[in-house]
Structures are given as C-alpha cells and as structure tokens.
Structure 1
Amino acid sequence: MSATTASARLVARDVVLAVDRDDAYANLLLPQRIREAGLDAADAGFATELAYGTLRWQGQHDALIADAAGRPIDEIDAETLATLRIGAHQLSRMRVPAHAAVHATVELLGRRNTGRLGFANAVLRRLSEVPAEERLARLVEGLGADERLALETGHPTWVLRAMRRTLDREGAVDELPALLEADNVPPAVQLVALPGLADPDELGLEPTASPLGRVAPSGDPARIAEVAGGAWRVQDSGSQLAALALTRARPVVAGERWLDLCAGPGGKAALMAAEAAVAGAQLEANELLPHRAKLVRQAVRSIEPQPRVVVGDARRYGRGDEAAAYDRILLDAPCTGLGALRRRPESRWRKQPTDVPQLAALQAELLEAAARAVRPGGLIAYVTCSPHLAETRAIVDRAAALGLRTLDTREVVAELSPGIALGDTGDAVQLWPHRNGTDAMFIQLLTTA
C-alpha cells in the first residue's frame, strides 16, 4: 500500500468523522482535505468514492457493524465508528481485497490504544468472513416491508415513506424502486452557461434537462477555464429550471425589480443575475447568514451589473416601502433537502421527521412575506429541493388565503425543456432524479389573484 493510498483512506475517514461529529458538509470538506493531502487523481478518486459511498450507505453499514460487533453503534466511540464505517464500505461495496481493507483501515487508529485497535480489527475481520449480502439477508428477516426496503436501499424508513406518498399522488408509486436506486448513483457534475457570458454549445458538452445546462467532463470542473473564469458554473439542471421558470415565464420589461429571498449559497442567484443583466432587470439577493451572503457575492462576481446582496431575515419583506415592490420573487425555501440525496449523501441521515413541521412553518411564513412583497400581477416561484408533500403541496395550498393563485408551471417548464417527462402534479412541477436526471426539485409559479 502506497503512502498516498493510506492518505486517501485517512482523508475519507476524517471526512466521515467530521460529518458525524461536527455536522460538516462532505461536499465542502472533502475537496479541501484532498488538496491538503496532495492526493493525485487516482487517490483523490479513491478517497471520494470511499467517503461519499460510506456516507450514502451509512444506515446499512451501521446495521452490519452492530451485528458484527455485538453491540449498538452508539456504544462505539466516534473515531472508531467512522473507521469501521469506511472499512465496512470497502468490504461490501468496493473492489478492495479483504486483507487490505482490514489492515490498512485499522492502521488509521494508530497504536496508542491497543484495546480500540483490537476491537476494530475483530469487527472488520468478522465482516470480511461473511459476505455482506448474506449478513444483510439475515438482518432483514422479520422486518416489515418498508423497514426491509429501507435497509436494503440505504434510506431512512421515514424518507422512503415520504417519497412513496409523493409518487403515489402522481399515480407513479411503482417508480419508487427506481427513485431509491437513483438516489444511490453518484450523479455526473452538471454545468450552466450563464446568459450574456457563455454559449451553452461552445464547449461541445452533452445537454441536460435545462436549455442552459451541460454535463461536465470527468475530473475537477474548476480546471475548465470557462468555469474558473465565472462564465460557467456548477449547477444541477433542476435548479436551473427552477430559476428559469421564473425569469422566462413571460417577457421581461426593462427596469423590473427581482428578489431572491433566500439566496445562499448563490447558484440560482447567479443565474437570475445573469438573466437580469441581459434583460435590463435589477436583482436583489437576500440571505440570512453573513457567511452565506459572502458565498452569494462570490457566485455573482463575474456578472455586471452585480446584484445587490443584503443580509437579513427574509420574513421582513413586504412591509413598509417593500410592500408590493418586486415584479418577480424567487422563494427557494429552506427545506429537508431530500431532493438532493444523490449529491449530498449524508443529508438522508442528518434530518429527522421531527424537523419537517418546523421547516414547514418557516416555509409558510416566507411565502407570506413573498405575497406581501410581490407587485400586483407579479410572479413568485415557490421552490424546494424536497419532494416531501408537507414542504411542497401543503405550503402551496395556502396560496389562495394569501391572495395568490397558481400558474401552469408545467407548461412553462415543458417549453423550457421540450420532451421533459412530468408527472400528474396539477399546476406544479415535481422533478425526479430517476425520471429527469435532476435533483428532486419542486417548482410552483404563483401570481396575485
């Protein structure tokens, strides 16, 4: 085993540990740790597959570890558990020889605590002696249908049930297995060509569901000159369609005022800012947290004129001078993020069903602010990166009481993306990774009644 391969395992283990212990975000921490470790392309790829795969299948790995250890995982210290998780992933889902997976992984714990070292070695050796499929088959015996499917597909049961309810509302519940499978397939990186700065066809890349979207070539997209220069950005095509549904639902009149209520980290704000610059509109981007507002400023740095980026609670909008002040408002509401499980593998384990009511209450308050802030006849796009009905339909159902009515968003998105497959969702659009190759974005256009 080379020193760099050992470093790759250490990088993956430390990312898994930081996600568990410090609530770190893997997509932000992993590239930083790879750079700090000086990994070459091959070992960076190994570390990425190991870290993301471990996080994606964490629920299944934990069940296997608990079985082999003979104790609940909450009785295992955080560093040892993170080490066991990456070891379990190598043994069950990577083509790593068992002896290398066990020895090299246990070595990460060092020699200071022989008891911990011996425990980890024993657990991983037990896992290596019985194929993961065989051990898993025994573990799911006697479980209910949902619990069994959840363990087999690496999803929390409550998330699986939420996905089923949404698909069932479309009459597409038979697509649940395909959705769960798609959640576990690492997606290709997608790019957006910012209007006025780039031509979507200039790089000769494969198109996506968005008219401005393209599939990035393999490797670090930051190495592409057009991405480094800010004319292209990394952005899922579902997010692109959400922003474009608002900016292109009707012709823009020069001088329009646009508002991005919850702009961080800035992907949709950058696309809206580029659209505004081309059409002669003015964008204001609001973000609650200063460090996320800084990310928004970085995201729009290549666009002139740059939008105004402000910091504050979005629920303040629509009062005083800001009442009925904006022609188009994007409300990309804070949510559970269940629509981006394939891109953010740890998010399925980070949220709990008890988080949903609190988020739904915030989403409703933000929609009230948007309703106050939009001009008569103006447009609001209510967007979430979650298909959970409590965060989508239940919030939109409040629109009439706020003096809003829904618009046919399906027609707008179908015009943006000819031939796109859209389910039976009324006026709204619910995108799906297994169906559209996008995150599971929900999009509903609204206007004043």
Structure 2
Amino acid sequence: MSDDRNRGERGRRSQGEPQGRSGRRGQGSSRAGGGSTGAHAADRSGRGRGSESSTARSGEAAGHVQPARRIALEVITAVRADDAYANLLLPSKIAAARLDSADAGLATELTYGTLRMRGYYDRVIEIASGRPIAELDGVVRDVLELGCHQILSMRVAQHAAVNESVELARQVASRSSTGFVNGVLRAITRTPAAEWATRAIESAEGVDEQLAIAASHPAWVIRAFRRALAADGVPADDAAFQLDELLDADNTPARLSLTALPGLIDRDEVGEGTEPSPLSPIGLLAPTGDPSSIAAVHEGRARVQDEGSQLAALALTRARPIVAGERWLDLCAGPGGKTAVLAAEARLGGAEVVANEPIAARAGLVRRAVAAIPDPPVVWERDGTSIGDDEPESFDRILVDAPCTGLGALRRRPEARWRKSPSDVADLVDLQQRLIDSAVRALKPGGVLAYVTCSPHVGETRGQVQGVLRRWGDALEQLDTQAVLTDISGGAIALGAPDAAAQLWPHRNNTDAMFIALFRKSAPAPAPAE
C-alpha cells in the first residue's frame, strides 16, 4: 500500500465510515430519518423456531430466493450455530449447487462480507429495531445481517435485498418473523448508509468501543492489536495510523496465493494467470476464482496457502542447510499446508518428516495434503504434549505451529474474530507452553525448533518466547529469525524493530499476521525450570 492510499483510508474511517469492501458505500436510500419507525410498526417478535431447527430446515426448497443468497445464509447460520468454518463449508455448497462463476462470486461476497461486518450490522439492527441483538432468534439475526450487508455495503437493489430476506425468513424461521424482518430492513433503507455509520459509531462509549463498531472487530481484539504493534516497535506517534491500516487490511479480502511445492513443480509451470510472489520463493499470486480449476492445484503439486504460512515453513527448512538423514517433526500438523512444504523440502534434502495431528478428522486432512508427494510423511495421531517424553531427543527439526486465537488470519477467516474471547487466551497460552516444552524435549542437541502462531497477540507470541527462554535457560538459544526471513525473501520482506523473532502483518506485508521464532537446542536438559 502506498502512504497516500493508506492515509486516504484512514481519513475515510475518521469520518465514521465502517470498513468493508471499498467503493461500495452510500448505497442506501436518500430519504433521511425514520430509522426505527417501520421496525416498531412491524411484528416485534423476532423469534422463530430456534437456530437448531432452522439449520435442520436449510435443505428446504428455496422458493424465489436466489441460490447465492440461500447458500450464503446456510453458511452464515452454520458458522453461528455449529461453529462451522466458512472457508471449508462455502466451497462445498457452491460446488453442490453447481453455481456459475457470477453466482459463486455473489455467494462468496455475501457470506464473507456479512461475517466480516456483523459487529457493525448488529449495532445498526439494534438501533433500527429498538431491541438488543441478543434477544433475537439466531436465524432471524442471520437473515437481518445478510440483508444489512446488501443494503449498506453492496450495489444491490434495495427492494431485492428486502424482499428476498423476507422470503428467507419465511423459509427458515416463524411466520411472524417475516413482518419483523420486513420492518427492520425497510427502516434501514430509509436512512443513507453514511448516516447509519455515524449513528452506530456515536451510540458507543469510548474510543475502543467506537472503533470496534466502525471496523467491526471486538474491542478486546483492537486492544490486543495495539499492544502487539507496540511490541513490534511501532512508535507511539504512528501507532493509531498503523492500527487503522491493520483493521482496514483485515476487512479487505486477501488475494489468492499458492505454493508451488518444491521438487514437484516450478513456479513458472503453474500458469493459469499466476505471477511469482515477491516474498516467497515458492509462492504465487493467482487471479480470483476457483483454485481447484488450476491443474497443478487439482493434482496436489501446488496448494492454496498464504505467503506468511509459506515463510513460516521455509524458516525452519532453510534456517541452515539440510543434512541427508535428518528427521523432522511437524508437531501440530493439521490441516497440513505447512506439512506439505516441509515434506517437499525434506525430500529434496534427503530428510524424513513425521506429522502429528491428534484430531482424527484433521489428521485425514494432513494425509490428503501430502498425498501427491512421493513417500509422504508418516502421520501420527498422538498427544503432542507427551511426544517429548515418548520420543526424547529424536528430531533434528521441529515445527510447533501451535493452536491459537487465529487473530492473524481475519481477512481470510473473518468469523474468527467472533469465535474467541479474552478468557480463551489463557487456556491457549497454557497449551502452547506445554507443546513448546514437549518439542524441546523431543529435539536433538543442536536441533532447530520453529515456534509459529497465526496470531499477533503478545501472550501467544513474544510472551511465549520469553517464557521458553526463561524455563530452558542455557539449553536453548534464540536464532535470528528476521535474518533468516530476509535471506529467504531476498530482502523484500518488511519487518518491525530489530528483534530475533519476526512478526508479519497484513497491512505491512500483505500476508496473514504470522509470528515466527527460531531456536537451537544447545545442550540436553531433563526438564524446564519452573
């Protein structure tokens, strides 16, 4: 991003406009006022048959609802009610419905746009209806959020957005909910989108709460980002600007990026309109569309993978030259993207990879991810926290791509911002610590460990680095990860203040916010210090 563009985006936010797909604002009705009158005059129940029954009914005939809208609602409801992952569920539903490219694109925008901006839309719905969002039946809330996205953030005819939302409500909720949905959405159409933004933001108290509505991020996530930027060396006088850039990047869909697995295919052989990544020597940027239509992806020789994830795997494989006969471990392998890179690199260097994933379904994803690689890695389904005791000093390189809050991938998985709460962080930090200690025990003296999270949260990143160095003392030394990544990227990567660890950022690197720290085990140690 250029400074001019970024500062323009910041100015747009300062005028009260929420963040989403740029260039799609101000599509509401030009008639001002009357924001809640229609909703109050409508049936006020807002309660249907329950979110679980609505999920069960999602297979009913769609009536006059456009298939893209129906599919979007099904995914949005599954994400809320069943903790489904939109990036896994949506492609399968699009394929099953055999949508053409235009409808597939519409379903994608409706789904991700609604999930991304639901925090802002919920506040608009509360103002328009005069009711707390928590009082609404779940599936009615889903329908209203989907309608809001079309009215406030897309170039969709307002009558179509309202009418099809009412029809969706009729199909998935109670009969009485249709009047409520109709009244709320018609009330929203009577006020311009820019005015809704101002009203929604001004309804919150405090800077973080207002920014949470404007950027559609939970306030606790905004505070965590602010601390993480400070920890990465962002000066105080630039902190607000960079935070604004980061939030905007989170609300901008990421470009499709691919990995050309080393030894299986060269980057220039993938074709299909791709171009080399400026950051990763095995990465490609691809046109928007269905990646499975690319032959190399369909065959498994190339994979959809963020450039930050590629760099995280390469940091371990290229921290030092590979010696034939090395044994590597991917301790938390699911769903297998980084495992595939490790296995491809190991095969070229004569090393062996073991992948561990304790959850059976995710272990299956790992096996599929590496199926195209000759002599693919062995996949274990074991408790990663005990492998260090079961396999002491057995591996030359270990990747700990630890379970985390996922706050670094919000542009690709927008619903992740709503899944976690501050209370989840403590349990994750404890698990991460136990996985790191297990990895150190399983690492051979002289071996290299990479600790990786797709989160910039200080507790999951630099806090863990400080903790492991404190616990293991002289048995573990930190390597210069920034130097390794600078070498891998040919100097193209932008990093924060000089530090041994590396924090990537979507607004700075156009990658997910991956944190990467490398360590070398200098001597055996029986157990970490308390």
TM-score by length of 1: 0.97
- CA gap of 1:55–1:168, structure 2 versus 1, over 3 A, is same
1:132-179 CA-to-partner distances (Å, cap 9, x unmatched) read 321231232262111111110111111111111111123322311111
* 2:493 corresponds to 1:420: yes
Please, which moves more after superposition, 205-214 or 272-281? 205-214
* 2:333 corresponds to 1:263: yes
Residue type of the alignment partner of 2:323: V
* Equivalent pair of 2:433/2:468 in contact (CA under 8 Å): no
What's the secondary structure of 2:446's corresponding residue? strand
What's the secondary structure of 2:517's corresponding residue? strand
* Equivalent pair of 2:200/2:213 in contact (CA under 8 Å): no
Residue type of the alignment partner of 2:254: P
- CA gap of 1:3–1:196, structure 2 versus 1, over 3 A, is farther
**Cα offset, 1:104, TM superposition:** 1.3
* Equivalent pair of 2:281/2:488 in contact (CA under 8 Å): yes
* Equivalent pair of 1:8/1:43 in contact (CA under 8 Å): yes
**Cα offset, 1:217, TM superposition:** 2.2
Please, which moves more after superposition, 126-135 or 247-256? 126-135
Distance in 2 between residues matched to 1:438 and 1:5, nearest whole Å: 36
* Equivalent pair of 1:399/1:406 in contact (CA under 8 Å): no
Residue type of the alignment partner of 1:151: I
Residue type of the alignment partner of 1:361: D
Q: 1:306 aligns with which of 333, 356, 376?
A: 376
* Equivalent pair of 2:120/2:200 in contact (CA under 8 Å): no
What's the secondary structure of 2:353's corresponding residue? strand
Q: Quote the residue 1:189 is aligned against.
A: 256
What's the secondary structure of 2:497's corresponding residue? coil
**Cα offset, 1:5, TM superposition:** 6.5
Q: Quote the residue 1:349 is aligned against.
A: 418
Distance in 2 between residues matched to 1:191 and 1:93, nearest whole Å: 29
1:356-408 CA-to-partner distances (Å, cap 9, x unmatched) read 01000000000100110100010000000000000001111122222311100
* 2:165 corresponds to 1:101: no
* 2:235 corresponds to 1:166: no
TM-score by length of 2: 0.82
**Cα offset, 1:218, TM superposition:** 2.4
What's the secondary structure of 1:344's corresponding residue? coil
Q: For 1:210-359, what aligned pairs fall within 5 Å after superposition?
A: 210-320=280-390, 322-359=391-428
Please, which moves more after superposition, 82-91 or 202-211? 202-211
What's the secondary structure of 2:276's corresponding residue? coil
Distance in 1 between residues matched to 2:85 and 2:176, nearest whole Å: 31
Q: Quote the residue 1:377 is aligned against.
A: 446
What's the secondary structure of 1:317's corresponding residue? helix
* 2:139 corresponds to 1:69: no
Q: 2:477 aligns with which of 405, 411, 420?
A: 405
Please list every run of 5 or more consecutive structure 2 residues that lacks an aligned counterpart in the other structure.
1-61, 523-530
Distance in 2 between residues matched to 1:138 and 1:56, nearest whole Å: 20
Q: Quote the residue 1:129 is aligned against.
A: 190
Residue type of the alignment partner of 1:420: I
Superposed CA RMSD: 1.5
Distance in 1 between residues matched to 2:440 and 2:373, nearest whole Å: 28
Q: Quote the residue 2:521 is aligned against.
A: 448
Distance in 2 between residues matched to 1:84 and 1:306, nearest whole Å: 47
- Kindly tell me the number of residue pairs found equivalent between the two proteins: 447
Residue type of the alignment partner of 2:521: T
* Equivalent pair of 1:4/1:43 in contact (CA under 8 Å): no
Distance in 1 between residues matched to 2:206 and 2:248, nearest whole Å: 20
* 2:235 corresponds to 1:175: no
* Equivalent pair of 1:190/1:234 in contact (CA under 8 Å): yes
Distance in 2 between residues matched to 1:37 and 1:70, nearest whole Å: 37
Please list every run of 5 or more consecutive structure 1 residues that lacks an aligned counterpart in the other structure.
none
Distance in 1 between residues matched to 2:118 and 2:269, nearest whole Å: 40
* Equivalent pair of 2:357/2:381 in contact (CA under 8 Å): yes
Distance in 2 between residues matched to 1:35 and 1:231, nearest whole Å: 22
**Cα offset, 1:4, TM superposition:** 8.9
